[in-house]
Structure 1
Amino acid sequence: MIRVLLSTAALCLLAHDAGAVECEPVTFQDTRYTVCEVDAATEALELFLYDEGGAPLGQFSEVDRKLAARQQKLVFAMNAGMYHDNRAPVGHYVEDGQEIMRVIDTAGPGNFGLLPNGVFCLREDRADVFETLAFLQAQPECRDATQSGPMLVIDGALHPRFLEDGTSEFIRNGVGTSSDGRRVVFAISDEPVNFHSFGLLFRDHLDLPNALYFDGKVSRLYAPALGRSDFGFNLGPIVGVVTPAE
Structure 2
Amino acid sequence: MRLRNIVFISIVCFVILSCKKENKNTVAITSTSAKNIEDSTILSYTINPKKQSLKFYWKNSQNSSIRTFKNLKTEVESINQELLFAMNGGMFKKDFSPQGLYVEKGKTLSKLDTINKGFGNFYLQPNGVFLITENGAPIITKTQDLKIYKDIYYATQSGPMLVIDGTLHPKFNKGSSNLNIRNGVGALPNGDLLFAMSKEKINFYDFATFFKNKGCENALYLDGFVSKTYLPSKKWKQLEGVFGVIIAQTKPINN
For each residue in 1:106-134, what CA deviation from the matched residue of structure 2 results, as whole angstroms up to 9, or x when unmatched?
22110001111111101223211111111
Matches of residues 148-187 of structure 1 in structure 2 within 5 Å? 148-179=158-189, 182-187=191-196
More off after superposition, 210-219 vs 163-172: 163-172
Q: What TM-score comes out, normalization by structure 1 length?
A: 0.84
Question: Structure 2 counterpart of 1:214, which letter?
Answer: L
Residue 122 (structure 1) aligns with: 132
Question: Structure 2 counterpart of 1:49, which letter?
Answer: W
- Between the aligned partners of 2:101 and 2:125, the Cα distance in structure 1 is 15
Contact 2:69/2:240 (8 A) holds in 1:
no
Computing the radius of gyration from Cα coordinates, the structure with the larger value is: 2
Question: Structure 2 counterpart of 1:58, which letter?
Answer: R
Counterpart among 6, 23, 27 of residue 37 in structure 2: 27
- Between the aligned partners of 2:61 and 2:46, the Cα distance in structure 1 is 29
Contact 2:130/2:140 (8 A) holds in 1:
yes
More off after superposition, 62-71 vs 156-165: 62-71
Counterpart among 207, 226, 236 of residue 215 in structure 2: 207
Higher helix share: 2
More off after superposition, 50-59 vs 223-232: 223-232
Residue 243 in structure 1 maps to residue 235 in structure 2: no
Matches of residues 111-150 of structure 1 in structure 2 within 5 Å? 111-123=121-133, 124-136=135-147, 138-150=148-160
- Between the aligned partners of 1:26 and 1:145, the Cα distance in structure 2 is 34
Cα drift, residue 26 of structure 1? 6.3
More off after superposition, 60-69 vs 116-125: 60-69
Question: Structure 2 counterpart of 1:145, which letter?
Answer: A
For each residue in 1:55-97, what CA deviation from the matched residue of structure 2 results, as whole angstroms up to 9, or x when unmatched?
1111112112221233212101100100011110111001111
Residue 230 in structure 1 maps to residue 238 in structure 2: yes
- Between the aligned partners of 1:47 and 1:119, the Cα distance in structure 2 is 13
Contact 2:183/2:196 (8 A) holds in 1:
yes
Residue 46 (structure 2) aligns with: 37
Cα drift, residue 155 of structure 1? 0.6
For each residue in 1:17-44, what CA deviation from the matched residue of structure 2 results, as whole angstroms up to 9, or x when unmatched?
xxxxxxxx9634x971111000122111
Contact 2:187/2:218 (8 A) holds in 1:
yes
Residue 119 (structure 2) aligns with: 109
Q: Give the match's secondary structure for 1:42.
A: coil
Measured on the aligned residues, the alpha-carbon RMSD in Å equals 2.0
- Residue correspondences, number: 220
Counterpart among 55, 79, 82 of residue 91 in structure 2: 82
Residue 61 (structure 1) aligns with: 70
Question: Structure 2 counterpart of 1:157, which letter?
Answer: T
For each residue in 1:117-173, what CA deviation from the matched residue of structure 2 results, as whole angstroms up to 9, or x when unmatched?
11110122321111111112x133211110010000011111111111221101100
- Between the aligned partners of 1:166 and 1:43, the Cα distance in structure 2 is 37
Residue 21 (structure 2) aligns with: none
* Structure 1: runs of 5 or more not aligned: 5-24
Using the aligned pairs only, state the percent identity: 32
Higher strand share: 1
* Structure 2: runs of 5 or more not aligned: 1-30
Distance 1:211 1:129, change over 3 A: same
Question: Structure 1 counterpart of 2:242, which letter?
Answer: N
